[in-house]
A = this chain, B = another copy of it.
Amino acid sequence: MPLLSPSAMSRKARTDREQIITIAVELADRRGVEGITLADIATRLNVRIPSLYNYIAGLDDVRRGVTLLVLVRLGDTLREVVAGHSGDDAVRALAHAYRAFAHEHPGWYAAVEAAPRYMDAEAQAAGAQPVQVVVSILAHYGLQAEDALHAVRALRSVVHGFVSLEVHHGFGLALDLDESYARLIDLFIRGLHAGQNGNKRQS
């Protein structure tokens, strides 16, 4: 007896695994990857917990699937938003979209943050679209090979750092967050421009 519709019977494990991951992704949207429980998934499917093991290897397997899916969705979102922009505009658009994603889906963003815990480097490569988007943007700044990669890390750090602190309520003061973020991105852009001639460190 398959999990729901008794339609096709052969090699259906793939389908039902996706069903489980889909439900897990919904749960994760509210409670984060760590908040996923097999009990909730089983209830949603009107099935007992052990039945799930016919399709998944365990909870961590579910979390891995969720992480991958979320990474892909973030990558898609960023790519769409950035399309049509370039230079400073592209950086601002990306920064805004990244933050918006975290606001709209805190649980999913938690999955992005915890991604390395559940996926090894190779598996992550499959969902590394976010990085690719950043690389393509910074290419327009005329940054050479290694310089570009260091810049990618810088942008990731800046954007992730702020958003991470924000969604975890790490900023205590009553000071406008939109303003802080806009200034941070501008500061990053200024730094990028100021470094274009003479990118080497002074000390």
Binding site for B on A (CB under 8 A): 113-117, 121, 124-125, 128, 131, 146, 149-151, 153-154, 156-162, 164-165, 168-173, 175, 179-180, 182-184, 186-195, 199, 201-202
Contacts and interface: CB of A to CB of B under 8 A. Distances in A.
Contact of A190 (B157, B161, B180, B195): B195
Given A187-B154, A191-B188, A149 B173 contact: yes
Contact of A201 (B121, B149, B158, B183): B183
B153 A171 contact: yes
A169 B116 contact: yes
A149 B187 CA distance: 14
B184 A153 contact: yes
- Protomer copies: 2
Contacts of A194: 190-191, 193-194
B168 A161 contact: no
Contact of A182 (B161, B183, B188, B201): B201
Nearest to A189: B191
